[in-house]
Amino acid sequence: MSSSTHVARRATALGPGLALLCVLLALVAFLSITLGSRSIGLPEVLRALGSLDTDGSINSTVTLELRVPRTLLGVLVGAALGVAGAILQGVTRNPLADAGVMGINSGAAAFVVFAITVLGVRGAGVYVWFAFAGAIAALVLVYAIASLGREGATPVKLALSGVAVTAGLASVTTGIVMTNVDALNELRFWQVGSLAGRYAPILTGVAPFLIIALIASLGFGRALNGLALGEDMARGLGQQVTRTRTAAFAVVAVLAGAATAACGPIVFVGLVVPHVARFICGPDYRWILPYSMLLAPIVLLLADVLGRVVVTPDELQVGVVLGVLGAPAFIGIVRYGRMSEV
């Protein structure tokens, strides 16, 4: 069977799956807008969405100014975390690679603490930019450390550098917040991982970064397939391994950095979803990336809706819900899945 015939058959098999996921994502997004601790009738929701302008009523205001930005942010952040996790696992050839392991979460937290304690910054709308800068700085530091030596940034060195940077930054952050009550109080609301309280200014602030990086990420499929064969094989196929890794890390820095800055460290999405996509699609990253881009926001929004309705009128933060549901899901993947096929 020729290569072109195999690609055509694979597209015929997996293409409808992407269309189905798009429909499912639209349905879950609609549920995210309509369901919550406040009961809003479907006609009122449709009326608000149709006019795209509040009529002064509480229900209209909640729908357009709270739930719609929250849902759109959930879609973008979920897609970013899913794709970032898939790229990291492909670049490092490490099935456990995600934003937390590579220092992104700890870097964002460290910069948030710096902004609070040194600069006196208050409010998520302001220190989101410090978290963004910290996430990117941490990932750059991880890559720089891993690049030292003659072999360059090998998968093993990247993983070890990520663990070392994460541990170091986490220790510094913990030491500061344990001696500073203001920093502790501010950080704990950001660090739990949540879509709640992230209003339109945060969405519009990070959306351009996420959209551009998501579009760019879809071009890495073929390169990641080459890296999966090993560095020597990739070079033999004409691939610039160092250039590919650098470009991939730059995209991941924007994706995971902006997502973490906006919503805090959300666990398991970037770790579990790429394995689910790989189980569906096989090892071809040209399919893993778009499947991860759609599966991740579906998972994130479902967890957010569940957190809103399970303890009504209060709510559980999405980071808590994903932590509870993600752990057994990941154990199942380890037990029955194919963790080594990255």
Task: Report pLDDT digits (tens) over 161-217.
Answer: 988 999 999 898 888 888 877 777 767 777 778 888 777 888 888 899 999 999 999
Q: At 336, is the pLDDT very low, low, confident or very high (cuts 50, 70, 90)?
A: low
How far apart CA 168 and CA 174 sit, in angstroms, is: 10
How far apart CA 89 and CA 75 sit, in angstroms, is: 21
Domains annotated on the chain, with CATH: 14-29+70-336 (1.10.3470.10)
Report pLDDT for 56: 64
Amino acid at 167: A
How confident is the model over 95-118, as a mean pLDDT? 84
Mapped onto helix, strand or coil, the DSSP state of residue 94 is coil
Instruction: Indicate whether 83 pLDDT > 70.
Output: yes
Instruction: Indicate whether 290 pLDDT > 80.
Output: yes
Tokens encoding 298: 């579906």
Instruction: Indicate whether 115 pLDDT > 60.
Output: yes
C-beta of residue 239 within 8 angstroms of C-beta of residue 223? yes
Report pLDDT for 287: 94
Q: How far is CA 62 from CA 39, 49, 72, 179, 298, in A?
A: 11, 11, 14, 38, 22
How far apart CA 43 and CA 63 sit, in angstroms, is: 12
pLDDT > 90: percent of the chain = 25
How confident is the model over 272-288, as a mean pLDDT? 91
**H helices then E strands: how many in the chain?**
15, 0
How confident is the model over 276-299, as a mean pLDDT? 93
pTM metric for this prediction: 0.87
pLDDT tens-digit map of 4-21: 555 556 667 788 889 999
How confident is the model over 24-35, as a mean pLDDT? 91
pLDDT tens-digit map of 35-67: 877 767 677 777 777 766 665 677 777 777 888
Could you give phi then psi for residue 299, rounded to 5 degrees? -65, -45
Q: According to the per-residue pLDDT averaged within each range, which of 159-168, 223-232, 290-299, 323-332 is highest?
A: 290-299
How far apart CA 60 and CA 45 sit, in angstroms, is: 7
pLDDT tens-digit map of 245-258: 889 988 998 898 88
Report pLDDT for 3: 54
How far apart CA 3 and CA 257 sit, in angstroms, is: 37
How much is the mean pLDDT over the chain? 83
Q: At 341, is the pLDDT very low, low, confident or very high (cuts 50, 70, 90)?
A: low
Amino acid at 54: T
How confident is the model over 289-305, as a mean pLDDT? 95
Instruction: Indicate whether 303 pLDDT > 90.
Output: yes
Q: Which has the closest alpha carbon to 249: 99, 148, 77, 76?
A: 99
C-beta of residue 141 within 8 angstroms of C-beta of residue 253? no
